[in-house]
Amino acid sequence: MEFIETIKPFTLIAYYIFVSFVVLLIILDNKKPEKAFAYIFLILLVPVAGLVIYLLFGAQYQKKKLFTKKRYFDKVYLNKINEEQKEDADVRIDDTDAKLPTLFYNIEQVSFTLNNEITLLNNGEEKFPAFIKELQKAKESIHLDYYIIRESDIARQVIDILCKKSEEGLKVRVIYDDVGSSLTRSTLARMRNSGVASYPYMPVVFSRLAHKANYRNHRKIAVIDNEVGFVGGININDKYINPSKSGLYWRDTHIMIKGEAVIDLQYLFISDWYFVSGQKIELEEVRYRNLSKIQSKVPTSILGSDYGKNNQTIKEAFFRMITAAQEEVLITTPYFVPDESIMNALKITAKSGVKVSLILPEKPDSKTAFYASQTYFKDLLNSGVEINYYTRGMMHSKMMIIDGAVSTVGSTNMDQRSFNLNAEVNAFMLSEKIARDLKSTFMNDLEYSYPLTVEILRRRKWYVKVICSIARLLAPIL
């Protein structure tokens, strides 16, 4: 006991020296001030535990080196594909009759392809039948890139098809996020033995405990035969299919794409595949197929973003969509923890007389983000933004509709994790018909929602307000 008492002061001194060193590293890392403060606050508020959380999820270690290598591959290899395969296919927005001709101009050389057919899929009960049907029709290749592939009835059905197709000679490749997904060793072994090539995205130790680890691949991408693509918010798990075993109604949005934009999804997959496996997919695998079958012409752009302040293309697109609106902005998102630029865009747009309406879940699956989001509501409401709580179940849909002409569906949440840390993907469409169909689903969701008011916020218990304020301080790292 005397020995323990003797080393206590030295242990504390060593701890404080180490903490001081870590705090200095956080400052020197040139993080955004609000993010740096959030990590420092966490370390000081929760000694030891806060430090462990930062070392596990905040420290970048080799992340910059890894993503720098990925950026180089994207710039050199994928740009080569783009030049060779799409030279005559791209249609600049100002060549269309869209209402917002310069909306995405100069965002990472964004271009729209014209020959696209878009099918809206609401919830898992609409997505999975279409998804399974297209998988079964595959003749050459299947590429899946998902945040969540979890052991479930639907996952087993999908994996059965993947194994069968691989055994028939198709090229089947699967990327699954190591934190979001949960596949047993026997399942992975079966896939491997059937010839299905699969890799986890940035493996971590104790993945089941690291549910909020940074730098995750939050994308939901499927590319089949370079002809059909799927993108949106629906992962591969039974809970997305209503009625679910848990009894929770799950509201989500996905789209199926046929046409040139599928190749843009393929580009993102090729980039992620090289990142996780170090293998290049040969150029001859990336070819347009049967465009003569595409009857409709929906100008569509696929945007991907991932870690780094210079790769926030989706956030930039969101900002431009909101600030360019002249009539209305309709948004559904499960997590609302915006940064200052998006927050100001929403407020200023609403103050300009544009209708801005949000639908958020009343009972989300992330309590911390839920409490943090409430600290933004008063300013938004006072600026004229409408906020509605969805009561039917979990609102997981991630979509935005602008002026009944421009819309987006994808994996990106309206939060700082999606904007700054995770790999995300969204489809942006310039079509009054698609916007009209999405608005119809929005209005239907509104029927299961109630408007939030400043009075409701005021009536919250005092301790709830305290929890919300604390959560707000951690918002940059949620």
Residues 19 and 168 in one domain: no
Whole-model pTM: value is 0.84
Residue 374: pLDDT over 80: yes
Residues 28 and 70 in one domain: no
Residue 98: pLDDT over 60: no
Q: What is the pLDDT of residue 363?
A: 85
State the pLDDT confidence band at 365, using cuts at 50, 70 and 90.
confident
State the pLDDT confidence band at 91, using cuts at 50, 70 and 90.
very low
Instruction: Give the C-alpha separation, 123 to 358, whole Å.
Output: 19
Residue 429: pLDDT over 80: yes
Q: What is the pLDDT of residue 212?
A: 47
Q: What is the pLDDT of residue 66?
A: 60
Residues 384 and 295 in one domain: no
Residue 118: pLDDT over 80: yes
Contact predicate 444/382, CB 8 Å:
no
Strand partners, 448: none
Q: What is the pLDDT of residue 4?
A: 40
Residues 51 and 84 in one domain: no
Q: What is the pLDDT of residue 216?
A: 87
What is the per-residue pLDDT across 325-347, written as a single tens digit (0 to 9) for each?
999 999 999 999 998 999 999 99
Residues 142 and 157 in one domain: yes
Q: What is the pLDDT of residue 334?
A: 96
Instruction: Give the C-alpha separation, 78 to 67, whole Å.
Output: 15
State the pLDDT confidence band at 310, using cuts at 50, 70 and 90.
low
Domain end (from 305, 340, 356): 305
Q: What is the pLDDT of residue 467?
A: 87
Q: What is the pLDDT of residue 89?
A: 46
Residue range of the domain that includes 358 = 309-477
Mean pLDDT over 296-313 rounds to: 82
State the pLDDT confidence band at 282, using cuts at 50, 70 and 90.
confident
Residue 362: pLDDT over 90: yes
What is the per-residue pLDDT across 24-50, written as a single tens digit (0 to 9) for each?
666 555 555 556 656 666 666 667 666
DSSP 169: T
Residue 437: pLDDT over 60: yes
Strand partners, 177: 201
Tell me how crowded residue 119 is: count the other CB atoms within 10 A of its CB.
Answer: 16
DSSP H/E element including 465: helix 462-473
CA angle, corner 422, sides to 478 and 116, nearest 5? 130
Instruction: Give the C-alpha separation, 255 to 233, whole Å.
Output: 9
- For 159-237, list the strands marked E by DSSP: 171-177, 197-201, 220-224, 228-232
Residues 86 and 28 in one domain: no
Q: Which of 201, 156, 111, 105 is nearest to 424 (CA)?
A: 201
Mean pLDDT of the chain: 83
Query: The CATH number of the domain where 438 resides is what?
Result: 3.30.870.10
Of 18-22, 181-185, 360-364, 468-472, the range with the lowest mean pLDDT is: 18-22
Of 123-127, 162-166, 373-377, 417-421, the range with the lowest mean pLDDT is: 417-421
Map tokens 């009944």 to a residue. Answer: 404
Alpha-carbon distance values, 388 to 334, 355, 415 (Å): 12, 13, 17
Q: What is the pLDDT of residue 49?
A: 65
Q: What is the pLDDT of residue 215?
A: 78
Q: What is the pLDDT of residue 62?
A: 47
Residues 251 and 349 in one domain: no
Record the tokens describing residue 2, joined without a space.
Answer: 């005397």
Q: What is the pLDDT of residue 85?
A: 52
Instruction: Give the C-alpha separation, 37 to 26, whole Å.
Output: 9
What is the per-residue pLDDT across 132-160, written as a single tens digit (0 to 9) for each?
999 999 999 999 999 999 999 999 999 99
Residues 262 and 210 in one domain: yes
Residues 249 and 395 in one domain: no
Instruction: Give the C-alpha separation, 202 to 223, whole Å.
Output: 21
Of 144-158, 282-296, 415-429, the range with the lowest mean pLDDT is: 282-296
Q: What is the pLDDT of residue 144?
A: 98
Q: What is the pLDDT of residue 209?
A: 47
What is the per-residue pLDDT across 207-247, written as a single tens digit (0 to 9) for each?
444 544 667 899 999 999 999 999 999 999 999 999 988 88
Residues 80 and 185 in one domain: yes
Residues 264 and 393 in one domain: no
Domain end (from 243, 273, 305): 305
Residues 419 and 375 in one domain: yes
Per the structure, the count of domains in the chain is: 3
Domain end (from 284, 305, 326): 305
Tell me how crowded residue 452 is: count the other CB atoms within 10 A of its CB.
Answer: 19
The residue with greater pLDDT, 423 or 111, is 423
Q: What is the pLDDT of residue 21?
A: 63
Residue 183: pLDDT over 50: yes
Q: What is the pLDDT of residue 236?
A: 97
Of 50-54, 264-268, 429-433, the range with the lowest mean pLDDT is: 50-54
Catalytic residues: 218, 220, 225, 396, 398, 403
Q: Cα–chain-centroid distance for residue 411?
A: 3
Residue 87: pLDDT over 90: no
Q: Is 136 exposed, middle or buried (0-12, 13-18, 19+ CB in 10 A)?
A: exposed
Alpha-carbon distance values, 189 to 183, 192, 423 (Å): 10, 5, 27
